Amino acid sequence: MASLVDQLSEVVGGAHVLTEADMVAPYCRDWTGRWGGPAAGVVRPASTAEVGAVLETCRRNGTPIVVQGGNTGLVGGGVPASATAERPGRPPLILSTTRMRGLEPVDTTCWQVTAGAGVTLAAVQEAAGASGLAFGVDLAARGSATIGGMVATNAGGIHVLRYGAMRQQVVGVEAVLGDGRVVSRLDGLLKDNSGYDLSQLMVGSEGTLGIITAARLRLLPASPERAVALLGVASTAEAVRALAELREMTEGLDAAEIFYQDGLDLVCRHFHLPPPLNTAFPVYLLVECAGRVRVADALVDALGVMGVDEHSTAIGVEPSSAARLWAYRELHTDAVASLGVPHKLDVSVRVDMLAELEQAVRRSVRRVAPEATLVMWGHVGDGNLHVNVIGPPAGDDTVDVAVLELAVSLGGSISAEHGIGRAKLAQLALVRSDDERSAMRSIKRALDPAGVLNPGVLLPA
Ligand SMILES: Cc1cc2nc3c(=O)[nH]c(=O)nc-3n(C[C@H](O)[C@H](O)[C@H](O)COP(=O)(O)OP(=O)(O)OC[C@H]3O[C@@H](n4cnc5c(N)ncnc54)[C@H](O)[C@@H]3O)c2cc1C
């Protein structure tokens, strides 16, 4: 009988089945460096039919599949389990969607576009922009994160405040389910109440139910005018209050981000940047307004009414000055990665609880990991804090458990936007009841009865 590699080569061509260790290695470790393990190889199908044939081959051979897009996920869902994790059976094959880069012309009548699973966010943004439109989700990993991965994780990012997360942008999805059936809802219908919404079931399923091959995405009118303000404030509570006032006084507020002096110092040191303001503040609130006219004037007027003075504010209206202010926020992830392998916790609470969460996280991390470096930032309008702890060994999850339990004790979630992946599998029961997890397992069994897709991600293998 032909080997698995031979069978896969028949499907996708020998050049797209990678088995040499140095070719496979980059696919086996995640962006943070914390998660990863051995794989049998990497296969790169180019079409839905090839995805179906790869899946069928793996099911026949009893080989599990790990689905991978841009490999920018932060919870270990797109890479194999570590060699020390309990892994019954054979090492998985990584199915990379990077060759599924088909991007149809933008439909300027319906304001939609169909993108292959491997198309990057940046490519969708560029295509939409060239047609005078925009895409509602944006995040710092835009150059690598793929549409398939973003649908699979229901990615959030900086514009959730105004446009919602990935779920709100998905009109329809095409996917090969774990048992080989194909679901294809790319017709662009905005109204279609004809049964279960299988496309939305794929959103946030983290590669456990089906392999997304394409998505039909909603686009928005472009906002030619944009203005950014960076405000230094005394506390998280003050940032939340300032945001509430700005929401009342401005139209088109499309981002509200928070970070802290220690994170800003790290960014400035690591990237050799001057501080954004002449005075240091404990907390920084970065807001962006976007629209067709008078955006900057409206933002400046609102800040004036709030009594914000020039020492505590920087405004960016020109694209270059706006980008300069955004860089202080967006470079946090890379700056933290330069310190070592971070423990990344992505928690959310109701916005009015954010200040309490921030203080409680500081106390908790000091208690369980007194030597660790803690850097936080987040999407303040969504009640979402990214908690990064550097110091404890990658395999020690004491600090992870402490922060996740804390968020739950404040009525929050253990995953605001990154998903459960392998990282938070053990904590799912903190936020999903026995009945809910049992219903999730039933859905998994119905669509992927052999358990071939992403075993050990989101649900136990
Ligand atoms: C610098 C940086 C900033 C980030 N900022 C944000 C942010 O603001 N908001 C946010 O939500 N996330 C953020 N992320 C996380 C990450 O970019 C998102 O989770 C993104 O959606 C992952 O896309 P990907 O293509 O890299 O997916 P991968 O990392 O390859 O995979 C992620 C998950 O999706 C599954 N998957 C991938 N492709 C498919 C497919 N075609 N079909 C089915 N399952 C699939 C994988 O199995 C895995 O479980 C950031 C990451 C980095 C590195």
Per-residue HEC secondary structure of 237-288 comes to: HHHHHHHHHHHHHCCCEEEEEEEEHHHHHHHHHHHCCCCCCCCCCCEEEEEE
Q: Is 391 in the pocket of ligand 1 (CB under 6 A)?
A: no
For residues 181-196, one letter each, b for 16 or more C-beta atoms within 10 angstroms of the residue's C-beta and e for the rest, the string is eebbbbebeeeeeeee
List, in sequence order, every residue forming a beta bridge with 211; answer none if it has no partner. 176
Cβ atoms 174, 48 nearer than 8 A: yes
Number of H helices, E strands in the chain: 16, 17
Distance 172 CA to ligand 1 centre (A): 19
Q: 178 by DSSP, 3-state: which? A: coil
**Of 245, 241, 238, 291, whose CA–CA distance to 260 is shortest?**
238
**Cα–Cα dist 4/40, whole Å:** 10
**Cα–Cα dist 338/356, whole Å:** 29
Would you state the pLDDT for residue 89? 66
Length of the chain: 461
Q: What angle do CA 307, 311, 312 make, to 5 degrees?
A: 65
> Which DSSP symbol is given to 352?
G
Q: What angle do CA 88, 93, 99 make, to 5 degrees?
A: 160
Q: Is 148 in the pocket of ligand 1 (CB under 6 A)?
A: yes
Q: Which atom of ligand 1 is nearest to the CA of 120?
A: 25
Q: Is 117 in the pocket of ligand 1 (CB under 6 A)?
A: yes
Would you state the pLDDT for residue 87? 54
Q: Is 417 in the pocket of ligand 1 (CB under 6 A)?
A: yes
Q: Is 165 in the pocket of ligand 1 (CB under 6 A)?
A: no
Q: What angle do CA 221, 226, 231 make, to 5 degrees?
A: 135
Q: Is 77 in the pocket of ligand 1 (CB under 6 A)?
A: yes
Would you state the pLDDT for residue 310? 83
Count the neighbouring beta carbons within 10 Å of the beta carbon of residue 215: 29
Distance 71 CA to ligand 1 centre (A): 6
**Of 95, 184, 101, 167, whose CA–CA distance to 453 is shortest?**
95
Spans of the chain below 70 pLDDT: 1, 84-89
**Cα–Cα dist 202/221, whole Å:** 26
pTM of the model: 0.95
Distance 216 CA to ligand 1 centre (A): 18
Q: Is 78 in the pocket of ligand 1 (CB under 6 A)?
A: yes
Q: Is 150 in the pocket of ligand 1 (CB under 6 A)?
A: yes
Cβ atoms 376, 388 nearer than 8 A: yes
Q: 75 by DSSP, 3-state: which? A: coil
Q: Which atom of ligand 1 is nearest to the CA of 175?
A: 42
Distance 375 CA to ligand 1 centre (A): 21
Q: 409 by DSSP, 3-state: which? A: helix
| CA 461 to chain centroid | 23
**Of 359, 333, 346, 325, whose CA–CA distance to 255 is shortest?**
325
Would you state the pLDDT for residue 247? 93
Distance 244 CA to ligand 1 centre (A): 30
Q: Give how far Cα 148 sits from Cα of 32, 64, 142, Å.
A: 20, 19, 13
Q: Is 152 in the pocket of ligand 1 (CB under 6 A)?
A: yes
**Of 434, 419, 431, 427, whose CA–CA distance to 208 is shortest?**
419
Q: Is 157 in the pocket of ligand 1 (CB under 6 A)?
A: yes
* DSSP per-residue string spanning 282-319: SEEEEEEEEESSSHHHHHHHHHHHTT--GGGEEEE-SH
Would you state the pLDDT for residue 383? 97
**Cα–Cα dist 174/172, whole Å:** 7
